Amino acid sequence: MDLGERLLNGDRRACARLITMLENNDNEAIDILRDLYKYSGNAYVIGVTGAPGSGKSTLTDKIVKEFRKKGKKIGILAIDPTSPFTGGAILGDRIRMNDLTLDKNVFIRSMGTRGALGGMSRATWGAVKVLDIFGMDYIFIETVGVGQSEIDIVKIADTVLMVMVPNLGDDIQAIKAGIMEIADVFAINKSDLEGADRTKLEIEMNLDLSEDKEYRPPVVKVSARQNKGIDDLIDKLMEHRRYLEDTGKIIERRKKNIKLEIMKLIEEELMSLIMDKAFRENLIEDLANDVIAKETDPYTAKERLIDLIKE
Amino acid sequence: MDLGERLLNGDRRACARLITMLENNDNEAIDILRDLYKYSGNAYVIGVTGAPGSGKSTLTDKIVKEFRKKGKKIGILAIDPTSPFTGGAILGDRIRMNDLTLDKNVFIRSMGTRGALGGMSRATWGAVKVLDIFGMDYIFIETVGVGQSEIDIVKIADTVLMVMVPNLGDDIQAIKAGIMEIADVFAINKSDLEGADRTKLEIEMNLDLSEDKEYRPPVVKVSARQNKGIDDLIDKLMEHRRYLEDTGKIIERRKKNIKLEIMKLIEEELMSLIMDKAFRENLIEDLANDVIAKETDPYTAKERLIDLIKE
């Protein structure tokens, strides 16, 4: 049996192998996903994002445990910054040493972020398809909720859960607002800490400014460590799912996500073509020398490089 | 006098106007920068980055005050997440209500991050050139140090100052490691807090793994609010500058940055061309419908769109 058939038959090792191939930008994996794409679309994807230190992983684990009680099969993709020193994923080997990792119906994968030109969104979205075809009912994508590429990665979800914590200072409030737009449900984690109500109020005030009057993201206070509010949070996630499905907006949303994915795929492909050409023939080196010598400027250099590539 | 001449003559309003034009992607500003590029290269650029809430702005202000005592002219570009609700920059109107804003030899500008396809790096790097040509001795770029695009923006600096704080949890350690590579100097801010020594030790241990044996980034404990350690930090920043200048590595570094800038400019231009074509002719809409209907898949759709655009 080839990898694709094995994936369809629920072979965990085929699943893991395909995700690795996607991380390595292996075209064979893409071809397999092309063939199997028609079997995708059954999983419901939940993106979990939030400030550094907000406890996203712990909260995800608590949610997943409840889903497991209902017999749901779960995939978790934790997007993990890659260490520039060791080259390995940083969190990968130390998080999630808990009972979920032993559960045959839970597939957890840390994916490392790679070089400057991204490729992470392509690999992540590919991995979502793999887990979907593999037969998962729910797929969680966790990312640190700051930075445009990180936001893009999680945007692909059907429901986006934004995890906040009380009192993270002014800077974090700004970031929060920068991604409030993509949140469908807010969780205030560590809500036993002082300031949780103020944080809730701030979010609600921001939501008051929103133009979408049809659906208003709920704000739920939880404590992942103390296992408080998890049921309530799950209710809100499911309410959002029902809202999308009952109104038919799920199609609209998935279509928007597909457009985003196609555009990102194009971006990544074109850039890798250009990088290849620019660096292999040393075109970029010559141009940078001219700019350093003030014989040209970066804007003109850009145009010259585009012309050279067109040839 | 045209805008370019006014900028060369030190006209603050011309400087502000040009930066606004860059934010609005106005080609006239780019043309002016092309003409004046030969006058750039005199300013020394310091990137300041760090986790949300690390106190980057306060620390920058303290450093700038010391530089002002030596008569240096300073530009500050604070990259500011844009609120999706109000459309405006979030921090812009509330930070820096201090004496620096009244100083004629300090130019402070908050720049908002824009739509999904970026453009922020182009605008920021353009603004650096404007401030350079305007005659600033030092230009500070502040960004939240998480997210690939944010890291790219600050990478363009001659010296990158990474601001850390004690005890930000496991998540933040990961992010820290993800950008440790680009830091030339580390400041541990709020170092009166417990855990500062542990944070310092962790950074030092990470640095031990680094392969660059020639220059080792120093780690300085400071407290911006209490005005402690600022002189020491400035010494380290200046030592890095001297290191680059004495070894001639400054040229190498600026060349690397110019390459990054050219590639980013190309990326932004190509993507805006493709977006324009894909959305104007509804190509992307048709393809997304086909993907939703499982008549095709995102990978094949990407290729079809590239083919359509090539025509």
Contacts of B287 in chain A (CB under 8 A): 262
Residue A306: the pLDDT is 84
| Under 8 Å between Cβ of B49 and B151 | yes
Q: Which residue has the higher pLDDT, A51 or B48?
A: B48
pLDDT of B92 strictly over 60: no
Contacts of B260 in chain A (CB under 8 A): 116
Residue B311: the pLDDT is 66
Does A306 lie at the interface with B, CB-CB under 8 angstroms? yes
Residue B91: the pLDDT is 46
Contacts of A292 in chain B (CB under 8 A): 251, 254-255, 258
> Does an H or E element contain B107, and which?
strand B106-112
Does B225 lie at the interface with A, CB-CB under 8 angstroms? no
pLDDT tens-digit readout, A152-192: 788 889 999 998 888 765 445 444 455 677 889 999 999 99
| Under 8 Å between Cβ of B156 and B261 | yes
DSSP B83: P
Residue B210: the pLDDT is 73
DSSP A82: B
Nearest residue in A to B87, CA atom? A178
In the predicted model, what is the mean pLDDT of residues B291-307? 92
Contacts of A86 in chain B (CB under 8 A): 209
- Weakest mean pLDDT among A205-209, B130-134, B188-192, B193-197: A205-209
A277 band by pLDDT with thresholds 50, 70 and 90: confident
What CA–CA distances, in Å, run from B289 to A123, B296, B298, B300? 23, 9, 11, 13
Contacts of A271 in chain B (CB under 8 A): 263, 267, 270
- Whether A177 and B298 lie within 8 Å, measured CB to CB: no
For an interface test with B, give the residue of A299, A300, A307 to mutate (most B CBs within 10 A): A299
Q: Which residue has the tokens 């970029």?
A: A284
Does A27 lie at the interface with B, CB-CB under 8 angstroms? no
Range picked from A212-221, B19-28, B75-84, B286-295 for highest mean pLDDT: B286-295
Q: Which residue has the higher pLDDT, B23 or A245?
A: A245
pLDDT tens-digit readout, A192-245: 988 889 888 888 887 887 777 789 999 999 999 899 999 999 999 999 999 999
For an interface test with A, give the residue of B33, B60, B85 to mutate (most A CBs within 10 A): B85
What percent of chain B shows pLDDT beyond 70? 85
- Weakest mean pLDDT among A79-88, B14-23, B84-93: B84-93
pLDDT of A50 strictly over 90: no
| B 76-115: CB under 8 A from A | 80-86, 90-91, 94-95, 113
What percent of chain A shows pLDDT beyond 70? 85
> Does an H or E element contain A48, and which?
strand A44-50
A&B contacts, CB < 8 Å: 235
In the predicted model, what is the mean pLDDT of residues B63-79? 95
B53 band by pLDDT with thresholds 50, 70 and 90: confident
> Does an H or E element contain A56, and which?
helix A56-69
B86 band by pLDDT with thresholds 50, 70 and 90: very low
- Weakest mean pLDDT among A89-103, B98-112, B245-259, B275-289: A89-103
**DSSP symbols for A175-200:** HHHHHHTT-SEEEE-STTSTTHHHHH
What residues form DSSP beta bridges with A138? Answer: A44, A74
Nearest residue in B to A95, CA atom? B170
pLDDT tens-digit readout, A113-160: 554 345 778 889 999 999 999 999 999 999 875 566 677 788 889 999
pLDDT of B264 strictly over 80: yes
pLDDT tens-digit readout, B34-48: 999 999 999 999 999
Q: For residue A287, give the nearest of B118, B262, B297 by CB distance.
A: B262
Residue A174: the pLDDT is 46
Residue B83: the pLDDT is 40
Q: For residue B288, give the nearest of A210, A258, A298 by CB distance.
A: A258
Distance between B54 CA and the closest CA of chain A, angstroms: 8
| B 267-286: CB under 8 A from A | 267, 269-271, 274-275, 278, 284-285
For an interface test with A, give the residue of B204, B262, B267 to mutate (most A CBs within 10 A): B262
Distance between B223 CA and the closest CA of chain A, angstroms: 16
Does A158 lie at the interface with B, CB-CB under 8 angstroms? no
In chain A, where the domains are located: 39-247, 266-310
Residue A145: the pLDDT is 59
Task: Give the separation between CA A61 and CA A210, rounded to whole angstroms.
Answer: 30
Strand ranges across the sheet with A138-144: A106-112, A74-80, A138-144, A44-50, A159-164, A185-188, A219-221
Architecture category of domain A39-247 in CATH: 3-Layer(aba) Sandwich (3.40)
Residue B268: the pLDDT is 80
B298 band by pLDDT with thresholds 50, 70 and 90: very high
Across chain B, mean pLDDT equals 84
Residue A87: the pLDDT is 40
**Core vs surface per residue B105-126: b (16+ CB within 10 A) or e:** ebbbbbbbbeeeebbbbbbbbb
pLDDT of B87 strictly over 60: no
- Whether B292 and A258 lie within 8 Å, measured CB to CB: yes
Distance between B106 CA and the closest CA of chain A, angstroms: 22
Range picked from A13-27, A31-45, A279-293, B85-99 for highest mean pLDDT: A31-45
Contacts of B33 in chain A (CB under 8 A): 297, 299
Q: For residue B269, give the nearest of A34, A147, A302 by CB distance.
A: A302
pLDDT of B193 strictly over 90: no
Rg (CA), chain B: 21
Task: Give the separation between CA A275 and CA A25, rounded to whole angstroms.
Answer: 16
Distance between A58 CA and the closest CA of chain B, angstroms: 11
In the predicted model, what is the mean pLDDT of residues B264-285? 82
| Under 8 Å between Cβ of A145 and A127 | no
pLDDT of B93 strictly over 80: no
B40-248 folds as Rossmann fold (3.40.50)
Q: Which residue has the tokens 């999630």?
A: A96
Q: Which residue has the higher pLDDT, B213 or A48?
A: A48
Alpha helices in chain B, H assignment, sequence order: 3-8, 12-23, 27-36, 56-69, 120-134, 148-155, 169-180, 196-208, 230-247, 249-280, 283-292, 298-310
For an interface test with B, give the residue of A33, A171, A202, A283 to mutate (most B CBs within 10 A): A171
B243 band by pLDDT with thresholds 50, 70 and 90: very high
ipTM of this complex prediction, to 2 decimal places: 0.84
In the predicted model, what is the mean pLDDT of residues A252-264? 92
pLDDT tens-digit readout, B160-182: 999 888 876 544 544 445 567 78
B98 band by pLDDT with thresholds 50, 70 and 90: low
Taking the whole predicted model, whether its pTM rises above 0.90 is answered as no
pLDDT of B153 strictly over 90: no
What CA–CA distances, in Å, run from A206 to A180, B47, B282? 8, 31, 33
| Under 8 Å between Cβ of B70 and B77 | no
Task: Give the separation between CA B119 and CA B30, rounded to whole angstroms.
Answer: 13
Residue B174: the pLDDT is 46
What residues form DSSP beta bridges with A45? Answer: A139
In the predicted model, what is the mean pLDDT of residues B66-71? 96
What residues form DSSP beta bridges with B110? Answer: B78
pLDDT of A88 strictly over 90: no
For an interface test with B, give the residue of A205, A211, A302, A307 to mutate (most B CBs within 10 A): A302
| Angle separating helix axes A230-247 and A249-280, nearest 10 degrees | 90
pLDDT tens-digit readout, B9-20: 999 999 999 999
Residue B96: the pLDDT is 55
A81 band by pLDDT with thresholds 50, 70 and 90: low
Contacts of A146 in chain B (CB under 8 A): 52, 144, 146-147, 150
